[in-house]
Structure 1
């Protein structure tokens, strides 16, 4: 620790105590999650890897209800539970289960109109007696919506009203006063993640589905970007016929700025390729280029990728064969584009 930092620290600060509390907090919260895991496993008198009696477990019933929901999953809570409810709704929505968060106080003043009889309503309250939730939950029940409660008290009013109650009770909060929601919110958040994972698996949710919900993220770009979205096309494609001189081909490479040119036949099918790297290697063995045609020095049968393939497929081909350029050919074998690895980098595919 620097002298400057030491001067601004309050005299009451004890670094050793801070580290001890950090470890204690993490241990208490880890124990709360392990206890929750054991509670779920034991709820139907079963081990986690057994299917016998699984449907009797409240967690399995909750998943079944959410799967059969023809509307949306509405998640609600207030205070710290509200923050957890928002995150659970967000995780569900991004993993294939349409979901939204509703604030219970706002719901009592009009937002309850968002809830329909086809929805499933997840109410989160550690005590199970939160006044704002208890003001709207009976109405949700009368609407005919499915009610799932997540509380720390099996005998609470909210638990008794619920179709399914998920017990998130913890033995103690990590707070040294045993007051601030810490271990209880961690356990509730973990249970929400468990619901989302079980649901996405049951729905057959795939990487492609996740990407559609995250088009701005790295995975979205990788799984939604096709070759045609990033390739160079039209007049930007470097291409010459086989009979042109090497010098003419080098001019084409220079003008198109992709460090290569395709060699095409009369139907514009690629029959060869020549790159800057090929030129450097050629210089080591040939002094006079004046009598060479591009057909004399090109690589025949060039590798290609289709325009409708994913851009990551092009990346894989480049990495496998250690090349920086790739030709794009359609189903009829006609040259329709060209790719440089920098095009994929700019598109943030890699």
Structure 2
């Protein structure tokens, strides 16, 4: 597997970003349950224009996050681990299993209830947290395992975006949607004409975001579309796609995602918060992430290998793959994001966030312990 400078930069930014994300989550929970809880929560409801600050973070800044995901996915498809079909099938099959099985487990508990729309919550993997946990073991982790987890999480995020577009769009305003897509087609045309002025694409992206925002389709979809409209060329270091991706790594890891965490984990825990564990959506989230993710990832990879569609790299064994499957159960950012779209009740949203945090903590701890023991045993 080819070790590229951009991949190392991406991995390192996500690794450090995971630590910052954890710190922000702890700070947010402490403030939300302190004597300053009222002031802290009101901070995220400060009106900017016609919307509160949390709206601009979730619908605006997160589009930048998805732009980076799109640029990374594009690079993986053209030059990285997804450029060769046999190698791409390994993380692709794992990602599919890691989305399908958790959704099925969630629906086993919540089918035909008012909570069934939450099926997308346990389907997600948080890149920053998962890589952050993986990095705690340092150089003992083989590069192929890091690349597998990164590719799996990127594909997972793409799946989440498609799911948001298909299942979490309530009312569509077709004129605004048509304008947004027309801008996308225009940017694609500029791409074909080899127009390489990044400013033009960014202005087009902002306009596309605005009309998508007012179309009923979630505006963060714009990030992925814009990524594939920006010229990739041959992926050289002087291409505008490479430059933008390099520039976005640190702002996303240290500004966008931490702000999202601070805003969306401002959860007040009352004295009887443990009662929510008995709710069907709680079972669906916890079992979907902690059990469904590793089962889905490992079983689908196993099936693809048995069908001779792909193969395991020499430095990855099934124990390491199972451990990474548990790390895939760290949902956090994307799981919380889907929760905001799935439910309308503030109480259910907050309860779901608590269960996501619990499930992510369990998954991260189990994954770390399994990997640590794996390397101690010399496998």
State the structure with more CA Rg: 1
More strand by share: 1
Higher-RCO chain (CA-CA 8 Å, sequence separation at least 6): 2
Q: Same fold (TM over 0.5)?
A: no
More helix by share: 2
Structure 1-normalised TM-score?
Answer: 0.21
